[in-house]
Amino acid sequence: MTTSAAPSVVLAEDSVLLRDGLIRLLEASGFEVAAACGDAESFLRDVASHQPDLVVVDVRMPPTFTSEGIKAALVVRQEHPDTAVMVLSQYVEEHYATELVASRPSGLGYLLKDRVADPSDFVAALHQVLSGGTVLDPEVVSHLLSRASHADPLAALTPREREVLGLMAQGRTNAAISAELYISAGAVEKHISSIFAKLGLPPTEVDHRRVLAVLQWLEHEGGVS
């Protein structure tokens, strides 16, 4: 992490024109662009080398142009937890987007390029992510909540269940929730099971109930932009 006043950024975007445009925008907005590259492998090397405050990464990058960028973003979340991540893409990569939110919703953004019309809004979103916020494009939220109930989902939760879900939204583990609320691990598990039931999230073969519950909380509490 840099100690300078200007937040440092590593940028990964395979389009040379868009990459150059983003560099100019970031530098004009007070960011220090430590590195800018066009493939995921170089991106991860640059992140390890520069330890930036923020990364901005496209989803589809060379060599296959499928999901290299967002997979690299997941690596950053795991190996560089102090680095904020902004995914900027033309596509909603539902599976890996779910994993990103599951890893830790704070300090995370996922915006669609076609919907970023105002550079000042984009820069504001970057600062929000840098400060630990969550910025998700409404279309991203819609994709991730496609199997969840939308009918006032949190109304049935007890005050304690809302506390538990709020801590889940901060990326806390069951053990950390237990310590924070001074309740047993078993009680935490019971609360979470009740939360899943009340939010209409039954077990599935691909079980992302914790993520879907957190997304409903973020949407309801205004934590998703």
Question: For 125-156, what is each residue's pLDDT tens digit?
Answer: 999 999 998 888 888 877 776 644 444 567 78
pLDDT of residue 204: 65
Residue 66 included in any domain: yes
Query: pLDDT confidence of 20, banded at 50, 70, 90?
Result: very high
Mean pLDDT of 80-101: 86
Q: Answer yes or no: do 60 and 133 share one domain.
A: yes
Q: Answer yes or no: do 81 and 184 share one domain.
A: no
Q: Answer yes or no: do 27 and 122 share one domain.
A: yes
Q: Answer yes or no: do 192 and 82 share one domain.
A: no
Mean pLDDT of 63-73: 88
Query: pLDDT confidence of 4, banded at 50, 70, 90?
Result: low
- Give yes or no for a cis peptide into 63 (omega within 30° of 0): yes
Closest CA to 213 of 203, 205, 75: 203
Per-residue pLDDT at 7 exceeds 90: yes
pLDDT of residue 34: 97
Q: pLDDT tens across 32-53, in order? A: 999 999 999 999 999 999 999 9
Q: Which of 17-21, 66-70, 94-98, 196-200 has the highest mean pLDDT?
A: 17-21
Q: Answer yes or no: do 66 and 118 share one domain.
A: yes
Q: Answer yes or no: do 83 and 166 share one domain.
A: no
Q: Answer yes or no: do 22 and 126 share one domain.
A: yes
Q: Tokens for 29?
A: 């907005």
Contacts (Cβ under 8 Å, ≥6 apart) of 115:
137, 139
CATH number, residue 22: 3.40.50.2300
d(CA 101, CA 120): 25
The sign of the torsion formed by the CA atoms of 217, 169, 98, 10 equals positive
More confident residue, 90 or 188: 188
Residue 116 included in any domain: yes
Per-residue pLDDT at 106 exceeds 90: no
Lowest mean pLDDT among 21-30, 49-58, 131-140, 210-219: 210-219
Task: Kindly state the percentage of the chain with pLDDT values over 70.
Answer: 90
Q: Please indicate, yes or no, whether the overall pTM of this predicted structure exceeds 0.85.
A: no
- Count other C-beta atoms under 10 Å from residue 69's C-beta: 25
- Give yes or no for a cis peptide into 159 (omega within 30° of 0): no
Residue 1 included in any domain: no
Per-residue pLDDT at 90 exceeds 70: yes
pLDDT of residue 118: 86
How many CA atoms within 13 Å lie on the side-chain side of 167?
19
- Give how many domains the chain has, as a whole number: 2
pLDDT of residue 184: 93
Q: Answer yes or no: do 32 and 126 share one domain.
A: yes
Q: Which residues form the domain of 114? A: 8-144
